[in-house]
A and B are shown apart, each in its own frame.
Chain A
Amino acid sequence: MSADGPSLGRRRVMMALPLAGAGVVGAAFWGMLSGMQKGSFNPHDINAPSAGRPVPDFAVMDQTPGVGFSSHDLQAITAPVLINFFASWCIPCIAEMPQLLKLRDRLPIWGIAYKDKPDNAAGFLRHAGNPYARIGSDFEGRVAIDWGVSGVPESFLIAPDGKIVWHGAAGLNNDEVQNALDAALGQTKR
């Protein structure tokens, strides 16, 4: 039997190549999707490069019922401090609050109210509880940009030398505190 066109072997290769290509692409997608489900891969991650850097130059005015602070105050701390950006209009901030209220007993938390009217922020802290040792107001949202904040809530762990040790770009939950924050906290003490 004489074959018209490509031989049988070449036909097999031509059939197999696109299938192999689709297989590779499929495996890659499967890897990404399963990573997204397990939380090991997040395409929306911003990965702002703040960890390992000194705190940016900034100052936030007093936010009732607390006292504002600046980069100088953070450079002068003698124990680790958690900086937490929050807002009264932010629902994940409400969800995060019990975690912060638990955390404040072992780690001082300084809050920054992000793009929030001072009255609203004060009302929020009256109702949800106030975990903050000091509170400043970033009404314009410009301080948050210098910190690389893209949305509230976000937290930063500051070591006594005024360096950012850890950045959490989402609300704190049990997992995050136990796995990420506590590990970073251990580093500051070593």
Chain B
Amino acid sequence: MFQRGRHASVALAAMLFLAPVLASAVDDPSEMLPDPKQEARAEAIGSQLRCLVCQNESIEDSSAGLARDLRKVVREHVAKGENQQQVIAWMVSRYGDFIRLSPPVTVATLLLWGMPALALLAGIVGAVVIFRKKPQAAPLTDEERARLEELSRER
């Protein structure tokens, strides 16, 4: 029983690891562009666009109806020879910046984008402050020195 449970958990873990690999593809191969280069470009663009129904998935990963429609739009634009910037601009003009999975750098998102650098800087400043002021051992008083000598002699 225990043994079988372990097998099941191993299988489950394997499935969890494999699932993203299996899921990241269009539902229907007929959706894909015939030219593999263009299809790869479309996938790269689509994976940066948020599925507005499931919200934390890209339109390439989602099987929602709207995501399928948006995938189709992306492929039409790519087939017309548009570049990534043009396709994303088309999407943003309809759905706003929220459709981009990574927000653009604007005044409103400056703090968000700057946070890693700020955190690193704060850490460095903190470390410098702490390490520069090495705690200095207070000099022993005469009384303490005498006691120390006494103790060392006892050994």
Contacts and interface: CB of A to CB of B under 8 A. Distances in A.
B73 interface: yes
Interface string A21-56: 000000000000000000000001111111000000
Interface of A: 2-3, 5-7, 10, 17, 44-50, 115, 140-142, 145-148, 150-151
A6 B135 contact: yes
A10 B130 CA distance: 9
Interface residues of B, number: 20
B31 interface: no
Contact of A46 (B69, B98, B137, B138): B98
B93 interface: yes
Q: In terms of DSSP, what is the predominant structure of the interface of chain A?
A: loop
Given A48-B96, A150-B95, A142 B69 contact: yes
A48 B65 contact: no
A47 B98 contact: yes
A49 B100 CA distance: 14
Contacts of B133: 10
Interface of B: 52-53, 55, 65-66, 69-70, 73, 93-96, 98-99, 126, 130, 133, 135, 137-138
A145 B73 contact: yes
Given A145-B73, A151-B66, A48 B94 contact: yes
A17 B69 CA distance: 49
Nearest to B70: A145
B138 A151 contact: no
A33 B111 CA distance: 21
B93 A49 contact: yes
A48 B96 CA distance: 5
Given A44-B55, A145-B73, A115 B94 contact: no
Contacts of A47: 96, 98
User: Which 6 A-B pairs have CB atoms at the shortest separation, nearest pair first?
Assistant: A150-B52, A148-B94, A49-B96, A141-B69, A47-B96, A2-B138
A8 to B, nearest CB: 11
Given A151-B53, A151-B66, A46 B73 contact: no
